[in-house]
Amino acid sequence: MGLSDLNFIFRFLPAFLLVYFLCPAKYRNVVLFGGSIVFCGFCSLPGAAILLGSVAVNYVLTRILDCRKSPAWRKGWLFGAVLFHVGLLCYFKYKAPSLPPGISFYTFTLLTAAIDVYRRAELPPRSFLELGAFAAMFPKLLSGPITAYHDTIEQVRRRKVTAKGVEYGLSLMIVGLAFKVIIADTLGILWHDIRTVGFESISTPLAWMGAAAYSVQLLFDFQGYSLMAVGLGSMLGFRLPRNFDHPYRALSVSEYYRRWHMSLGRWFRDYLYIPLGGSRRGTLRTVCNLLAVWLVTGIWHGVTLNFLLWGLALGFFIVMEKLWLGRLLDAYRWLAHLYVWFLIPLTWVIFAVTDLESLGIYFTRLFPFRGGGIAVNQRDWIIHGKNYLGFFLAALAVSCPLADSVWKRFWNTLAAKVLLFALFWVCVYRIVTGLHNPFLYLGF
C-alpha cells in the first residue's frame, strides 16, 4: 500500500485521520505509531515485524549509549549499533528475496538516533513509543524524507495540529499526487515504450528524449512522493524537511545533489562525510572522502554494477568541480546550466539501465558516432514527441520560479482549493484507469 494507492487514500488515511484528530493530544503518538505499524503491515506483515524489531533493538541501544561509561565502551556499542543496522539493511537489500518496506529509509533514520545520542547531541528517547513514532511514522516510512533524530524528536514530543496546517498539508499532498500520477507516470510510459522497442531500434533524438523522460519521471515521482509525505506530516502537525529544491536549477553536479533527495545528502554529509574529515584535511583526503560518500550512495541504491558506476561517475564530476571545473562553471552561468542539463540525464540513464550490455547500446544510440542500431526508425521521436510534449512542458512550467511564487501567494484561496479538488479527482481517475505505476523509489 503506497501513498498513491486508492486503498490508502480512500480507506487507511480517512480512518487514521479521524482517530488521530479525535484523540487527545497526549495519545496521538500511540495512534501514530500503531497506525504506522498497521500501515507497514498492509504493505508486508513480515516487514512490520522487522520494523518493530529494528525499533526495539535501537531503543535498547540508545539507552545503553546514554549511560556514563568510558568513551571506548560507548564507542564499542555505537559500532555494534551501526553493525546491526547496516548488517540488517545489507542482508535484506542484497541477500533476501524481497525488501521489507522502507527499510533503507528507517534504518538511516534509526542510525541518526544512535549516533546523536552517542554524540550527546540529543537526549535518548524517553519511551519506546517516542522512538517508534519518530522512526516509523507512515508518511515518511516508505521513502523518506530521512529525518535526523535531533531535528525531529522534539516535534514527536510536542506538536500542534492546526486547521491551516491540515489545509496546507492536504494541498501539498494533492500536488504531490498529481506530480506523481499525471506527470511522472505518463512520462514513465514513454520510457517503458522505449524499452519495449529495444534500445537498438530507437533514433538518437528519441534516445535523448528517453533520457529526459526518465529524468523527469524520476524527479516528479520522487518529488511527488516527498511532497505527499511532507503534506501528510503537516496534517499530523509535523514540519518535515523538504526533500527537493528544484534540482535542475543547479549550476553544478554538487549543487544538484544538494537540491536532490536533500535528506539523504544531508545524512551522508553529517554522518559520513564530516566524520571522515570532510574537506578539512587536504585535497587528497577530500577527494577520497567524496568518492567514498558517492560509492556508498551508489551501493545504497543497489548492488548491480550500474549503480556503482553511477555513484562513481557522480563522485568523479563532483571531485572535478571541486578541483578546477567549479571555477569555470562559476564564471559562465549558461555553461553551468548546459553542463547540468546535459550531464545529469546521462547519469540517470546509467541509473535506469541495470544491465551493462543494454547500457552500452543505449549510449551508442545517444552518441551514434560509430553507426549501429538495428531497424531504426528515424522519425519515431516525432511520433512520441507529439504525445509527450505537453507533459514535458507541464513539468517545466511547475518547476519554474514563477510557479513557486504563484503557489506561495495563492495556495490558500478559494480558486486554488477548487482547482486542487478537481486535480485530486483527476488523479483518482487516472489511478482507477490503471495509468500509473508504483513509486520508483519504493525499490530502494
Question: Which residues in this chain contact another protein in the complex, by CB under 8 A?
Answer: 6-7, 9-11, 14, 163-164, 166-167, 170-171, 189, 192-193, 195-198, 200-202, 374-377, 380, 383, 412-414, 417, 420-421, 424-425, 428-429, 431-437
- Euclidean distance between CA atoms 97 and 132, whole angstroms: 26
Closer of 261 and 430 to another protein (Cβ): 430
Closer of 3 and 146 to another protein (Cβ): 3
Closer of 152 and 171 to another protein (Cβ): 171
Look up residue 170 and give its three cell numbers: 492536504
Closer of 129 and 166 to another protein (Cβ): 166
| Minimum gap (Å) between residue 36 Cβ and another protein | 21
Look up residue 300 and give its three cell numbers: 545504497
> With contact defined as beta carbons under 8 Å apart, do 243 and 267 qualify?
no
**Closest of 344, 350, 379 to residue 362, by C-alpha:** 350
Look up residue 71 and give its three cell numbers: 568513551
**At a CB cut-off of 8 Å and minimum separation 6, what does 398 contact?**
179, 183
Judged by DSSP in three states, 131 sits in: helix
**Closest of 103, 91, 88, 92 to residue 51, by C-alpha:** 103
Cα 44 to Cα 90, 226, 328, 374, distances in angstroms: 19, 21, 50, 43
| Minimum gap (Å) between residue 137 Cβ and another protein | 20
Closer of 314 and 359 to another protein (Cβ): 359
Active site residue 301: yes
* Rounded (10°) angle between helices 45-66 and 28-43: 130
- Euclidean distance between CA atoms 157 and 29, whole angstroms: 8
- Of 192, 246, 261, 301, the catalytic one is 301
Closer of 189 and 253 to another protein (Cβ): 189
| Terminal C-alpha separation, the chain | 16
**Closest of 175, 181, 223 to residue 407, by C-alpha:** 175
**Closest of 239, 241, 267, 192 to residue 440, by C-alpha:** 192
| Minimum gap (Å) between residue 139 Cβ and another protein | 16
Cα 23 to Cα 20, 313, 352, 400, distances in angstroms: 5, 50, 44, 41
Closer of 244 and 381 to another protein (Cβ): 381
Closer of 331 and 414 to another protein (Cβ): 414
- Euclidean distance between CA atoms 21 and 32, whole angstroms: 11
| Minimum gap (Å) between residue 119 Cβ and another protein | 40
| Minimum gap (Å) between residue 435 Cβ and another protein | 7
| Minimum gap (Å) between residue 361 Cβ and another protein | 11
Give me the amino acid identity at 360. G
3-state DSSP of 238-281: CCCCCCCCCHHHCCCHHHHHHHCCHHHHHHHHHHHHCCCCCCCC
| Minimum gap (Å) between residue 107 Cβ and another protein | 26
| Minimum gap (Å) between residue 158 Cβ and another protein | 20
- Euclidean distance between CA atoms 238 and 157, whole angstroms: 11
Active site residue ranges: 301
